[in-house]
Structure 1
């Protein structure tokens, strides 16, 4: 498949995404973890939806069907570990920023990806060794050693921003990085160790200037079947189930359309209440069909829904008027209607 390339506005710096999806999943008994479904959607597809704004998305794993077009890469040798996988994925990216994700994050959302990127673009960290020294016995601080005139060196841009989990642990596979910093450190490690295969990810992360954000929901990953069960249970909670269901249906049908679901629910309610209960699903189906014929898009759906809602409300007005006409003694009864008896056939008087 080709890379997905969403539009970017003026001044918006593009980003790429690298998703690591080739692990052995030993704690799941070797199951195909990226393909495990949570809320009706594969874990990998859920992560791909969260980074849908990426100019290019590279998945490091053997190719498989996905809800979004992606590029595929494979570490050398296969199974060489997350650092080698990141190296392989990064080679297929060109954007100045790279979001690096694992494929087992059921609750990762686009909002978290945006937070990571916004934090990275605006971040700065003090250079190593620039922290002020405590002056013993004074409670004050002295200028850092080597700082001319006692001034602090200017903060340097951070190399990356990562999410921490509820326990405060860093999650380097829920993070955004400057691509040039990753390439620099990967090249250094490759030269020092003769390649990146088998090296732990901490060797890379430990050499980078990092800042952090907290997101306990986005950092939840699925390492065990208990984690999978917990994720599935949460998705079926009342506050989440509708959005999850709509997302699952859109993935299954291969459509990417954001519409006002409240408007459609209001339409279904009006059709059910003012016409008949079966009218609700049939009407919403017809609205979708009409919107597709009109070229699709949220505006087409909204216009078709508006017309159908007006029709359902008009139907209700007619029903109320008909009921009023049929009520004996009603002041709204019209001459000649069955309620007045006027114009109705009269029986002939008795002859005798």
Structure 2
């Protein structure tokens, strides 16, 4: 499956007291590491948001304009970074035909991404696929969208009211999206400390955010793609603690 990925790594996290969501821990690994694992197999990945520290080789980092301008602006920034990325396999230049959009605050999103990819393999995705939870809630930040359709949405938004503080539902309003039922709990997100507790998510150790010094809880196997962060650090002569 030919796809790129845009990972939205968090905004102000005001209901978490400003603690960056990307550095929260689940099963001993930062949420950003879980999101990167969920996006494994992507031809290119852009992480949008505050500086997360060390990232795997080849993973892009960018920021929405202005900072904290919301998820629609973050999607636009990620698309722009991917479009200009020059580190692709020369056999597959240019942006992929599909773009996975994934929020960082869903520790179990890997199962939802698998469902989206399976659905896209089973039938042409058209404008795209959006995850729907077991209780019927649509989740646009777990979606696999036509890159060209997303780019048109961004261009239209810029010509209209703009992207700043716009909702993702508004950004995608003109697309004909197929809803995909995903496993229970796979789109549960962390907005408050109560959410975190329910999902087994904890704060990062004091003084340590997403710096790659937490174990890779996923193990070997799975789709090829973005390398595990710890493997990248070891290759650079650093040791996970």
The TM-score bracket by the shorter chain reads 0.7 to 0.9
Aligned-residue RMSD, C-alpha = 2.4
Runs of 5+ unmatched residues, structure 2: 83-94, 202-211, 222-241
Partner in structure 2 of residue 302 of structure 1: none
Query: Conserved in 1, the CA contact under 8 Å of 2:106 and 2:189?
Result: yes
Q: Secondary structure at the match of 1:92?
A: helix
Instruction: Give distance in 1, aligned partners of 2:169 and 2:218.
Output: 37
Residue correspondence of structure 1 range 204-215 to structure 2 within 5 A: 204-215=171-182
Contact 1:18/1:86, CA 8 A, preserved across alignment: yes
**Aligned-residue offset at 1:165:** 2.0
Secondary structure of the residue aligned to 2:152 is: helix
* Greater RCO (Cα-Cα under 8 Å, separation 6 or more): 2
Q: Aligned in 2, Cα 1:76/1:49: closer, same or farther, shift over 3 Å?
A: same
2:84 is equivalent to residue 87 of structure 1: no
C-alpha distance in 2, partners of 1:121/1:24? Answer: 36
Q: Determine whether 1:102 maps to 2:91.
A: no
Q: Which is helix-richer, 1 or 2?
A: 1
Whose radius of gyration is greater, 1 or 2?
A: 1
Equivalents in 2 of 1:29, 1:251: separation in Å? 23
Whether the 8 Å contact between 2:28 and 2:215 is mirrored in structure 1 is no
> Structure 1 residues 256, 68: closer, same or farther in 2, change over 3 A?
farther
Q: Which residue pairs with 1:118 in the alignment?
A: 118
Equivalent residues of 1:45, 1:68 under 8 A apart: no
Aligned to 2:8: 20
In structure 1, how many angstroms separate the alpha carbons of the residues matched to 2:75 and 2:61?
12
TM-score for both structures, normalised by structure 2:
0.74
Q: Which residue of 1 aligns with 2:130?
A: 162
Could you tell me how far 1:73 is from its partner in structure 2? 0.9
1:34 matched to which residue of 2?
A: 22
Distance 1:206 1:123, change over 3 A: farther
Q: Secondary structure at the match of 1:172?
A: strand
Confirm or deny that 1:51 pairs with 2:52: no
More strand by share: 2
Q: Residues 232, 188 of structure 1: CA spacing in aligned structure 2 closer, same or farther, 3 A cutoff?
A: same
Q: CA deviation at 1:251?
A: 7.3
